[in-house]
């Protein structure tokens, strides 16, 4: 038991190290919704991490989301709308929070591509079984009777650039175990299918991902998902209309700010400068709106958004003063968050960002892998940097125009 705990601790630290090695790899931060504009498209919900995260691309149009939409349309000859929910930082334990109150009934097919990060972090099989069963139960109860559900297995661990030798062997054994659990659970549901697959080879010189790689991935998934969509449509002669709606913003300027392709140079630069200034492992500037945290500038490989309920920043926006947590693994508010298991970011220091009316709408924060004392950072300094971020956000909010429909379509 002690040996397994030590192995898992080492595996989690290795995964975290790999994430920070990949900080310079582009990831999409635009809308994860692909809309055809057709009157009666096939509607697909993609839930996942790993290849669904879009490593090596800057837009979901070129990542798996957009590539899969086109691959399915080529096979079915029908337009396909896809909404992607997930992130590299989403473990199986966090899927319910990522889904939030998403309505599942409108979708003809749900494709789940999960758990590589659970395999290489050696997530215990019993914990995995509990969380996967919860997800499958929800999909079974909330999707319409005609909907098909495809659960993809975990691909070979050595398809990841940094996983060779002992790390790959340990991860592969866990992946095989978790796949066996998933296969057995999926077999309990009508209309569900387990997909065993092999990762396509990476494009030379682009080991983390590329549009060409996601085009190959989309073919792998479309081979199974296209027939499933045909079956779903045959079973649902009385289809109803439904738009793939995005997040309904409470602070409307936030929507305009997040719609900017490539983000905002001044805020990206500010986050990088803050990381260096505070000697931090990560820094981000985020907008907190409804049940989501949106990363408007981020030095980590996280994507566009994450559930607010899993974020330390939810506590920052609830107050008026800076929040400093010396060790998130021991603080009562944060110690049980599944995000701890992935990012391994123990030290947190954040300050709220306010809108024109003085309401808290976001956060500026810096984070470290190792715990630090409260006195290691100046609250005044933290507040000053948050004020700089706030000033830039308010300036952008006042000058950024609402994107036109054409502009929006071009960026999703």
Tell me the two tokens of residue 276.
Answer: 């260096």
2-234 fold = Rossmann fold (3.40.50)
pLDDT at 409: 39
pLDDT in the model for residue 408: 39
Q: Residue 261: its pLDDT value, please? A: 72
Residue positions counted in the chain: 412
Q: Residues 306, 293: contact at Cβ < 8 Å?
A: yes
pLDDT in the model for residue 18: 86
Angle between helices 125-142 and 165-186 (to 10 degrees): 40
Is there a shared CATH topology between the 2-234 domain and the 252-399 domain? no
C-alpha to C-alpha distance for 261 and 263, rounded to whole angstroms:
6
Whether 218 and 64 have beta carbons less than 8 Å apart is answered as: yes
Domain boundaries, the chain: 2-234, 252-399
Distance CA 343, CA 64 (A): 23
Bridge-based pairing of strands 42-48 and 80-86 is parallel
Question: Would you tell me the crossing angle of helices 265-277 and 379-399 to the nearest 10 degrees?
Answer: 170
263: left (phi over 0), alpha (psi -120 to 50) or beta: left
CA distance 38 to 77: 12
pLDDT of residue 406: 38
Q: What pLDDT does 405 receive?
A: 39
CATH number listed for the domain at residues 252-399: 3.30.450.40
pTM over 0.85: yes
pLDDT by residue, tens only, the chain of 412 residues = 555 888 998 898 888 888 888 888 999 989 999 999 998 999 999 999 999 999 999 999 999 999 999 999 999 999 999 999 999 999 999 999 999 999 999 999 999 999 999 999 999 999 999 999 999 999 999 999 999 999 999 999 999 998 999 999 999 999 999 999 999 999 999 999 999 999 999 999 999 999 999 999 999 999 999 999 999 999 987 776 666 777 889 999 999 999 887 789 999 999 999 999 999 999 999 999 999 999 999 998 888 899 999 999 999 999 999 999 999 999 999 988 888 878 788 999 999 999 999 999 999 999 999 999 999 999 999 999 999 999 999 999 998 654 443 343 333 3
- What per-residue confidence (pLDDT) applies to 241? 67
Residue 320 burial (C-beta neighbours within 10 Å; 0-12, 13-18, 19+): exposed
Which residues lie closer than 8 Å to 15 by C-beta, 6 or more apart? Answer: 117, 120, 121, 342
Helix (H) or strand (E) holding 6: helix 2-21
* Distance between CA atoms of residues 88 and 68, nearest Å: 18
d(CA 32, CA 280): 29
């Amino acid at each position: 038991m002690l040996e397994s705990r030590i192995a898992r601790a080492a595996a989690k630290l290795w995964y975290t190290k790999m994430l920070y090695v990949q900080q310079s790899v582009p990831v999409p931060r635009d809308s994860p919704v692909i809309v055809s504009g057709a009157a009666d498209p096939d509607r697909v919900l993609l839930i996942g991490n790993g290849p669904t995260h879009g490593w090596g691309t800057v837009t979901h149009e070129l990542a798996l989301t957009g590539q899969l939409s086109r691959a399915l349309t080529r096979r079915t000859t029908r337009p396909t709308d896809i909404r992607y929910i997930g992130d590299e930082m989403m473990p199986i334990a966090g899927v319910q929070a990522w889904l939030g109150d998403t309505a599942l009934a409108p979708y003809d097919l749900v494709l789940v591509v999960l758990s590589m990060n659970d395999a290489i972090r050696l997530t215990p099989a019993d914990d995995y079984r509990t969380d996967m069963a919860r997800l499958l139960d929800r999909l079974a109860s909330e999707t319409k009777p005609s909907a098909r559900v495809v659960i993809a297995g975990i691909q070979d661990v050595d398809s990841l650039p940094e996983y060779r030798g002992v790390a790959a062997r340990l991860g592969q054994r866990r992946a095989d175990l978790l796949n066996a659990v998933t296969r057995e659970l999926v077999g309990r549901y009508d209309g569900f299918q387990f997909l065993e697959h092999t990762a396509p080879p990476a494009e030379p010189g682009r080991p983390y991902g590329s549009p060409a790689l996601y085009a190959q991935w989309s073919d792998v998934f479309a081979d199974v998902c296209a027939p499933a969509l045909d079956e779903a449509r045959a079973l649902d002669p009385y289809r109803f209309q439904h738009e793939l709606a995005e997040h309904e913003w409470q602070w409307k300027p936030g929507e305009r700010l997040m719609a900017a392709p490539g983000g905002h140079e001044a805020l990206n630069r500010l986050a990088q400068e803050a990381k260096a200034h505070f000697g931090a492992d990560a820094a981000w500037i985020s907008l907190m709106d409804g049940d989501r945290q949106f990363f408007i500038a981020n030095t980590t490989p996280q994507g566009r958004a994450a559930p607010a309920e899993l974020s330390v920043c939810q506590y920052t926006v609830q107050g008026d003063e800076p929040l400093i947590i010396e060790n998130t693994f021991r603080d009562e508010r944060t110690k049980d968050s599944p995000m701890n298991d992935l990012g391994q970011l123990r030290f947190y220091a954040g300050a709220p960002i306010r809108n024109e009316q003085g309401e808290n709408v976001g956060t500026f924060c810096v984070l470290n892998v190792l715990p630090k004392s409260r006195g290691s950072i100046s609250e005044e300094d933290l507040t000053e940097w948050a004020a700089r971020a706030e000033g830039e956000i308010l300036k952008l909010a006042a000058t950024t125009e609402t994107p036109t429909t054409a502009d929006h379509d071009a960026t999703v």
